[in-house]
Amino acid sequence: MAGIVVVFDFDKTIIDLDSDNWVVDELGATDLFNQLLPTMPWNSVMDRMMKELHEQGKTIKDIEEVLKRAPVIPRVVPAIKAAHALGCDLRIVSDANLFYIETILNHLGISDCFTEIHTNPGYVDEEGRLRIRPHHDFHTSSHGCSSNTCPPNMCKGLVIEKIQASLAKEGKKRMIYLGDGAGDYCPSLKLKEQDFVMPRKDFPVWKLINENRDLVKAEIHGWSDGEEQEHILLQIIKTISMEDNQFLSVDCKFQTIPINAVHEAMTKALPVPY
């Protein structure tokens, strides 16, 4: 299962809301946010909001405490831990920001499960203010995405293409992508026939995929809640490993162990609740 790469979106895929809205609302800045939103790109609005909150006396500690209260999709943490324990390479591709994501992952105790996080840079400057920058510098050039569903600051499709190129060098070949938003549609189009996409049902990416199924090469498995996400994800991992490894060779008197025996042990060790 070392050849399986699982890519998670973050907002509404790991946590059960939009992290930007959560921080703004919890810190009492919703009205100002709504005033600024029509005047500049979302990513720029969030950087401006952090400036305004800093000037109002809100601290990094205040932001961290709000993030730690963010509701998490039920069963997603056990699913992540199980996929990691099974040897999968877990990564995050998100239009949130690094400060938010790392704060929440550390709070949940799952930061070590992920090998990479691709998102908008988020860092604390010398004045103690949180700064949020675009993943792609849209002020100097366009990322060139043709899907018309990606925001100017981040094309997840380009990110997935870079991951795919690195995986080819490492010999890894199967990808599972989980997401919910319109920005998750473009990366879904980049997946190969041997890959899997898990769109959240009745969310924007689900609608886009269903309207353009002929364009999606990957196998599609929708999910509605955390329990379904966990069950489908672990079932796909099991299916991939069974397809790719009919037998696990053991260098001991040329004996082999049937892969179904391994999965029987895996099932006992990591039961999936229904």
* Assigned token pair, 267: 């099932």
- Alpha-carbon separation of residue 257 from 148, 235, 246, 264, 270 (angstroms): 49, 21, 9, 12, 20
Distance CA 210, CA 216 (A): 9
Residue the block writes with tokens 């109002």 = 56
Q: Which of 9, 18, 89, 195 is catalytic?
A: 9
Among 212, 216, 152, CA closest to 183: 152
184 is catalytic: no
Task: Report the first-to-last Cα separation within the chain, whole angstroms.
Answer: 24
Distance CA 222, CA 210 (A): 10
Distance CA 157, CA 102 (A): 22
195 is catalytic: no
Distance CA 200, CA 177 (A): 11
Helix (H) or strand (E) holding 43: helix 42-55
Q: Which of 11, 18, 180, 195 is catalytic?
A: 11
232: which residues sit within 8 A by CB, 6+ positions away? 198, 221, 223
SS3 of residue 3 by DSSP: coil
Answer whether 164's CB lies under 8 Å from 173's CB: no
DSSP state of 71: P
Distance CA 105, CA 101 (A): 6
Report the DSSP beta bridge partners of residue 138.
none
| Residues assigned a catalytic role | 9, 11
